[in-house]
Amino acid sequence: MSQTRDRFADIVVCVALVGALLGFLRYNFYPAKIFMGDSGSLFLGYLLAVFALKGRAHDVPVLALIIPVVAMGLPILDTGTSIVRRMIDGKPLFSADQDRIHHRLAEKLSHRNTVLALYGVGLFFVLGVILMATVRPRMAMTFFHGNRASSSFPVFAGLHEPNERAANYSPSAQFR
């Protein structure tokens, strides 16, 4: 009985969270009328972490670990490409720049289309999570392996062209 009550409470919190986020996105779309600050984003990240650790997204342990990572695919992709790019360029890893995925998209697309493109990539990851959580393990792992191709999204979108520095990059040079 206690598990059923806990499950119901989780569902109620998730439905309320999804409703609040959809309402937020409606008023945050360009031109934005409201903004999510640090407290809101930290609370949202906390809730996502709690549900990732608390829930059993899949019966297969490897998939249960992979699914939350795929759910956060766009921020992980953006952060990962920024770190690699800064290492290649020899810049400090924690320096600010105007070279994130959304900045590069905004150079080529309108503000509205940039946001819609990022929503589309986020939707791709969400659909992948839903697929991975609901299908047989073999099909889910097939999707995960196919999803690795999305890590080259910045190259396919023309956001990062390989250059000489990338070809001659040596990790050990970073620490000399």
Whether 49 and 60 share a structural domain: no
Domain carrying residue 127: 56-176
Sign of the C-alpha dihedral, residues 41, 102, 160, 129? Answer: positive
pLDDT given at position 126: 87
Residues of the chain with pLDDT under 50: 156-158, 174-176
Whether 38 and 108 share a structural domain: no
Q: What is the tens place of the pLDDT at every residue in 50-62?
A: 887 776 666 777 7
Whether 150 and 164 share a structural domain: yes
pLDDT given at position 110: 92
pTM, whole model, 2 decimals?
0.69
Structural domains in the chain (count): 2
Burial class (CB in 10 A: 0-12, 13-18, 19+), 70: buried
Whether 29 and 90 share a structural domain: no
Whether 157 and 123 share a structural domain: yes
Whether 44 and 60 share a structural domain: no
